[in-house]
Structure 1
Amino acid sequence: MFAITSMYAGAAALMFVYLTLGVSRQRIRHKVSIGDGNNRAVLVAIRAQGNFVEYVPIGLILMAAVESRGAPELAVHALGAMLIGGRLMHAIGFTRRPQILILRQAGIVLNLVMLLAAGLGLLAHAIV
């Protein structure tokens, strides 16, 4: 049950740990315990992690719902690839100095397409 979604959830967990360690590294390096200490590097690390947290849970929930409705495996993998690929692209583009804006933009577009496709697919399946 949820074999495909579980695989992408595992990948997401590893990415989350990596982003969280990035926040910890910046906090230690810049001696910031709470908040961002008005330090841009700490703020960027916090927001990279925050952006991940804002998109991944709903993406995984939608994937699980799509998988539970019996969608073709290829469709579920496509959603997972868009979610994880988009988050990876966004994180890389966002955290580099200078930012790689095209990666950041492509990442968010990929995530929005994933959310839109899964959401519309679930609604269409529920209506029909």
Structure 2
Amino acid sequence: MTQLPVTLSSAAACALLNIWLGSRISRLRGQFKVSVGDGGNDLLLRRMRAQANFIENAPFVLILLAGIELWGGNRLALQAIAAIFIMARIAHPIGMDGPQFRRWRMVGMMGSALVTVALAGWAIALIAGY
């Protein structure tokens, strides 16, 4: 049986991160008594977008991690790349909380983009060498 420890640990980290992102939204919904949508609350909207942005990015990274790991990619390198992605995805929602944290958003966006490009390039290189 083929085991994918990097992908599995990364998926677990992503699941926990998604729960954290959702809990930040839930707390604000309770605080501002908003059951659906953002209720015109800017912070709630930003937190909702931070979670949506995570959901938009994480599947591609997890699929690429799994494919490269299945192909026999270096697990230590994959784990380092996955760790960078998780840290970037923690930085991004912190930066979405307000203009004073804007730098964290930029770090999160750039880290996520660089990881995705690196994994996509690695996957293309593997296919090209096939």
Q: TM-score range by the shorter chain?
A: over 0.9
Residues 85, 111 of structure 2: 8 Å contact kept: yes
Task: Return the TM-score normalized by structure 1.
Answer: 0.92
Task: Return the TM-score normalized by structure 2.
Answer: 0.91
Residues 62, 119 of structure 1: 8 Å contact kept: yes
Corresponding residue to 1:69 among 56, 68, 71? 71
Partner of 2:13: 11
The sequence identity of aligned pairs, in percent, is 35
Partner of 1:46: 48
Runs of 4+ aligned residues of structure 1 deviating over 3 Å after TM superposition are none
Rounded Cα–Cα distance in structure 2 between residues aligned with 1:22 and 1:102: 20
- Structure 1 residues without counterparts, runs of 5 or longer: none
Residues 14, 58 of structure 2: 8 Å contact kept: yes
Aligned residue pairs, count = 127
> 1:41: Cα distance to partner?
2.1
Aligned residues: CA RMSD = 1.2
Corresponding residue to 1:89 among 85, 88, 91? 91
Residues 26, 45 of structure 1: 8 Å contact kept: no
1:5-29 CA-partner distances (Å, limit 9, x unpaired): 1111111111110111111111111
